[in-house]
Structure 1
């Protein structure tokens, strides 16, 4: 049978929209007689004009198939008592309205006095379940609330929220739209059912006498909270709070950092996230130590319509201390800043900055501050050096131009005396640094044309590595260059790429030491440079069984007129000393074998006639395995003394370059690159390693031996020259899973020249779907400044829904 029913009251719609479909059983049969029994299931009670009551014929607007404002109800029976002003739905009650679904064994609606303005009461009994539009689900044994959802009480309440969070309580009280309370409650994001369906204790949980969810502040508060790990209560907190997991981003505590070291004793760091606005937040992270004073860390982040800033900072007031935490000296302020910002001016221009400074050269080591030496801008400093810069960049499809000013702070210990930190007065201030590039769309003689420009000014207070402070060299340079290249490919596959490169430089150099005390001189000069040549390759392909084999001979011919190098002095043997601010770190390998000018900077330029040759072979299997090998070297008409004796490029025939990599099986990859002596094939530089991964874990191993310029010294004229030293170290690390949830971690770095471990880490971890705990023992044998060897134990705790990335929520 089908009876006409009037539209639900406005109070009912308001209640449903507020979040619980309990008001769906408002009086919908006002003309029925007392105890009138309705047996028709599954009707739309308020169909849109012209629509049938059957949901299958309603216009599908919501996910439940109902049109806007339509209400659908199912029940075994519906009873209306006009005298008592009650409506009762019994038996498998299901009500749907605007994406929400209510299920219960019985639902009773009691009208308030006057019906239009009175306060009604809704009661749901037995297996009460509310499924919200966002997928979250709420459960209760019994639920009572007013029809406007301003207040209510639930018994035996539980809910499954977003991110698989579960929360339950003996009773729940809804004060208003923003405040909800639970009594004798428990909160966990962990699984509470085993694979066989039986109940199990969650990996971690928070239980409390009282829990308050404040939606306005987006925080969940706990009174008398107990944090349980694997069912065991470990931490008691009279008051505790964290961000509401239903909120997009909210204030609250993040995961703590716990450790112990012989430098600081027991250390506890507790980050707290404070959301300042929809586009900014602040993390305050005090580090409390038993041996030394606390260190206050912080991070401020803000987004703008055109970019963002990220500023990390730290402060403490304390005496200095050594590796055993023994204090000395006087109290003073110690601080650091690690900041960056990047902004888009329009579709072509952007600008930004980095600010990296510390008042204490060993602050990061003493307090174990992580993620210090990272890239924060376009210009990157070396390890253990901080770089502050301001830059502007314009870029489009054809051109690029940038301008920057750069300052560097060095924190690196001396190789000869690790107790001494490098002198920052020897680092130049780079301002300005201008680079430009332009590539026209049209071709020139059928080839690609590029035009580049560069300008830089370096100002240095003091010459490095001198016993008596002496003036450092200041230099200014302006460069313009043009590069042309064209590709010819023959039908047989032979590829020839002729190229021409022309460059002109103008230099102004001052504060050049004359070798007599601190007397200096200056020079101004210019030069024209160029190179012409061709790259030649002839790849040969062949199919062999289930693999493709590629053999490729490679050659480059390059000819340059004799270059005018900038001479700023002579050594004791009378050999010239060249200005070299930007080409000190030259490493001859497969990446620059076929560069016509192998110098990485502008100050030195490779000249003469040379021939670079190599052979490259590759095997590519159909199942994804691969292997490749390259062998090559360089030949020149005469020796060139602008290269150091350890570079492998000074003589007429260079050292051999060998580079290979392979992936022989799934989960394993290996690589090696080496520079071998031209005559004896002795190893001058070798870097090799392997990476492995499987269901049991992952790991890597690295080996490096290098005879290269790793230090510098200054001659009597104040010019920097390299000092030859040898580096040899072994690096290994990995993670091994011993069981489903347990595993071991290890890391080690050994200096094979000193025959000592630089650092060693050994750890054990437990992990599951909502928690990871790492306990790591670390021993450092290095000496950095006043800090000698150290030992520490760190506990890293990561909890699901707590302590995630700041903008990850």
Structure 2
């Protein structure tokens, strides 16, 4: 029992009269209070007196009682020494040690200020959530039983007593040990209007740790699945692992089970997403065809530390059908799950190790691909075992920098060309500053490649070659500081000479099929950054980099240049921008005004007449009520890999019309094909505790048995509870 009688010593001044007040008890200093034993209650009040007939101590006026980090404030407190109960009335507030607050019109608790009952009860929980009840009973085990309850995460004030959303229930239990709030006969209200009824509902309180239980379901109507319902269940297996089990039932097709597993180890972690069903194929209208069989997918990744410098990991991506993820609207395809990332609609499974120290880098991986595109034939994508790269480098001081490297790639196919490559090379460079502010960087590189080939398909059993370049980069940085703007200019020239006839037509081009020479490689001796194609012979590149930075924030920068070659190489196609004896003019420009506006542009101008061969412009803004991103691209048929022009636009953003309402819009349009890959428009409402969206989406894309679709989405997210709604109302 807390020793309330300890502070009654101040009543020694009390006369024989039964009711006498003394000012500001207790008399101890703050330091003395802090040093008091933890089982004592520290009581402060304007007046303190004793009612001897009732064996009670009464405190009135700005009363505060402190006990083990808990504070009780009230207009009046009566402590009955016989029953060991404390009764507080008038503006009662209890402040817990974690900062949460509880309020009541009237309160009766035991001497530790914890267990008891309250009338006109309310509590402010973590993250700003509020619970209001007519009455509350608190037990010693941390159970709070509430009657006629309202719960909301929205700010509640006298001027606006109706929150955006609230849960209203006949009875609720707040379990402080399990950190769960459960309701009986609960009604979910929006702006005071009842929307959903739940006989039973439970959710964690905002300060809770993770725990097992039902998550927010997804339900709706889809043209593919029909009426469907997916109910996730979150299972906390241990402190370091959990599993989300999400069965999906629908009207048109058989049930599907989706699982998400996560586990942390002392050296790393894994994450697996998978699904399983037994079903036939079906189209975008839900019409079923073909044989019924087991179908599913697995997307997973893991990364583990071996030593402080070395790690190993894996990524797995596989599914039984090319369109399985699109039929069930599963997300996750084309995410990066390891050292390498595949192209869209190409799954990649990998096992890898990577290490990096002060003077070395190395990685090795095994790769397996699965094609999901209509033209991907069985066995045409390679199995790579292994692909390896290692580099060791040295700082030679006044003699520059040097490195040696080794690389290999072993590719096999069930149908197509097999190839195995091993490469060993080295490079050296130095940087010197000449009189007049010129910088000169001499460099040299040398590499030997050996290819083992399929003679029946390549015409040769093997190919060995030596490739290399030597040259220099010469620049003249110039800076002109100003009162309002600083201007920087740097003209640069690169000249190099390399081995001739380095590309053998028997070598399969595996790593440079989609390569395009741009400004990032303008001053590199080898315009190709990969292995199968190499740029030898003589070449000169010239370019100008300029930058202007205003004192008040805006900045502009650009790089523009071109490359000339001594000889045309027939192995370089037009798309690579290294065909012929001169490249197209290439450039990039950026205008940065901070959050208000940023524009990034890349262009490729034809070397004959400066015709626009390619442009890629991206704009982003977050200015006042508008947040948006836009991108426009155009590729001329002269440089397109397919020989066809390509043009499109992407737009996505949100315009805040009022303080609460916004217009949401988006567009992904293929201008060449004259179709909208995706377009959406809708309205959103958002306040401090919730967000509501109504979105209309339409896609005109077709992929074999799946055709165009449109849907309405209704979603809303509630602070401290979660997200509701569905994105599938096709």
Question: Which TM-score bucket, shorter chain as reference?
Answer: over 0.9
Matches of 1:24 and 1:219 in 2, distance apart? 37
CA contact (8 A) 1:243 1:253 kept: no
The one of 4, 12, 29 aligned to 2:2: 12
The one of 223, 243, 248 aligned to 1:262: 223
Structure 1 598/336 Cα, relative in aligned 2: closer, same or farther at 3 Å? same
Structure 1 745/260 Cα, relative in aligned 2: closer, same or farther at 3 Å? farther
Matched residue, 2:428: 484
CA contact (8 A) 2:334 2:341 kept: no
Of stretches 35-44 and 763-772 in structure 1, the one that deviates more from structure 2 is 35-44
Matched residue, 2:317: 356
Of stretches 528-537 and 282-291 in structure 1, the one that deviates more from structure 2 is 282-291
Alignment pair present for 1:434 and 2:398 = no
Matched residue, 1:16: none
Matched residue, 2:346: 385
- Residue by residue over 1:385-419, the C-alpha shift from the partner in whole angstroms, topping out at 9 and shown as x without a partner, is 221111112221111122211111222334xxxxx
Helix, strand or coil for the counterpart of 1:595? coil
CA contact (8 A) 1:26 1:87 kept: no
Helix, strand or coil for the counterpart of 2:454? strand
The CA deviation at 1:663 is 2.9
After the TM superposition, which residues 473-622 of structure 1 pair with which residues of structure 2 at under 5 Å, given as runs?
Answer: 473-510=417-454, 512-513=456-457, 523-543=461-481, 546-568=484-506, 578-622=507-551
Of stretches 404-413 and 266-275 in structure 1, the one that deviates more from structure 2 is 266-275
Matched residue, 1:137: 101
Matched residue, 1:757: 676
The CA deviation at 1:384 is 1.8
Matched residue, 1:636: 565
The one of 132, 136, 144 aligned to 1:172: 136
The CA deviation at 1:342 is 1.0
Alignment pair present for 1:687 and 2:616 = yes
Matches of 1:503 and 1:450 in 2, distance apart? 12
TM-score by length of 2: 0.93
Matches of 2:388 and 2:214 in 1, distance apart? 45
The CA deviation at 1:381 is 0.7
Matches of 1:522 and 1:171 in 2, distance apart? 89
TM-score by length of 1: 0.84
Structure 1 29/540 Cα, relative in aligned 2: closer, same or farther at 3 Å? closer
CA contact (8 A) 1:34 1:83 kept: no
Structure 1 598/424 Cα, relative in aligned 2: closer, same or farther at 3 Å? farther
Structure 1 366/232 Cα, relative in aligned 2: closer, same or farther at 3 Å? same
The one of 189, 197, 215 aligned to 1:228: 189
After the TM superposition, which residues 11-410 of structure 1 pair with which residues of structure 2 at under 5 Å, given as runs?
Answer: 11-12=1-2, 35=18, 37-43=20-26, 53-55=28-30, 57-58=31-32, 71-81=41-51, 84-112=54-82, 120-147=84-111, 151-193=115-157, 197-410=158-371
CA contact (8 A) 2:587 2:602 kept: yes
Helix, strand or coil for the counterpart of 2:575? coil
The CA deviation at 1:643 is 0.8
The CA deviation at 1:780 is 0.9
Helix, strand or coil for the counterpart of 1:365? helix
Matches of 2:411 and 2:151 in 1, distance apart? 60
Alignment pair present for 1:767 and 2:696 = no
CA contact (8 A) 2:70 2:113 kept: no
The CA RMSD measured in Å over matched residues stands at 2.7
- Residue by residue over 1:696-736, the C-alpha shift from the partner in whole angstroms, topping out at 9 and shown as x without a partner, is 1211221112247999xxxxxxxxxx653432111112111
Matches of 1:783 and 1:356 in 2, distance apart? 23
Matched residue, 1:719: none
Structure 1 359/149 Cα, relative in aligned 2: closer, same or farther at 3 Å? farther
Structure 1 133/214 Cα, relative in aligned 2: closer, same or farther at 3 Å? closer
The CA deviation at 1:260 is 4.0
Helix, strand or coil for the counterpart of 2:721? coil
CA contact (8 A) 2:205 2:720 kept: no
Of stretches 545-554 and 426-435 in structure 1, the one that deviates more from structure 2 is 545-554
Structure 1 69/180 Cα, relative in aligned 2: closer, same or farther at 3 Å? closer
The CA deviation at 1:616 is 2.1
Matches of 1:300 and 1:30 in 2, distance apart? 64
Of stretches 291-300 and 380-389 in structure 1, the one that deviates more from structure 2 is 291-300
The CA deviation at 1:614 is 0.9
Where structure 1 has 5 or more consecutive residues not aligned to the other structure, the ranges are 1-10, 14-22, 45-52, 113-118, 415-421, 463-471, 515-520, 569-577, 712-721, 805-809
Of stretches 99-108 and 31-40 in structure 1, the one that deviates more from structure 2 is 31-40
The CA deviation at 1:658 is 2.4
Matched residue, 1:572: none
Matches of 2:384 and 2:9 in 1, distance apart? 80
Matched residue, 2:552: 623
After the TM superposition, which residues 781-796 of structure 1 pair with which residues of structure 2 at under 5 Å, given as runs?
Answer: 781-796=700-715
Structure 1 565/708 Cα, relative in aligned 2: closer, same or farther at 3 Å? farther
Higher relative contact order (Cα pairs below 8 Å, separated by 6+ residues): 1
The CA deviation at 1:753 is 1.5
Helix, strand or coil for the counterpart of 1:185? strand
- Residue by residue over 1:200-229, the C-alpha shift from the partner in whole angstroms, topping out at 9 and shown as x without a partner, is 311111111111122333321111111111
Of stretches 546-555 and 201-210 in structure 1, the one that deviates more from structure 2 is 546-555
Where structure 2 has 5 or more consecutive residues not aligned to the other structure, the ranges are 724-730
Of stretches 87-96 and 280-289 in structure 1, the one that deviates more from structure 2 is 280-289
The one of 395, 400, 406 aligned to 1:453: 406
The CA deviation at 1:67 is 8.7
- Residue by residue over 1:553-609, the C-alpha shift from the partner in whole angstroms, topping out at 9 and shown as x without a partner, is 1111111011443432xxxxxxxxx42111111112111222211223211111100
Helix, strand or coil for the counterpart of 2:576? coil
CA contact (8 A) 1:259 1:266 kept: yes
- Residue by residue over 1:78-133, the C-alpha shift from the partner in whole angstroms, topping out at 9 and shown as x without a partner, is 33345543333233321123432211122223335xxxxxx633322222111122
Helix, strand or coil for the counterpart of 1:426? coil
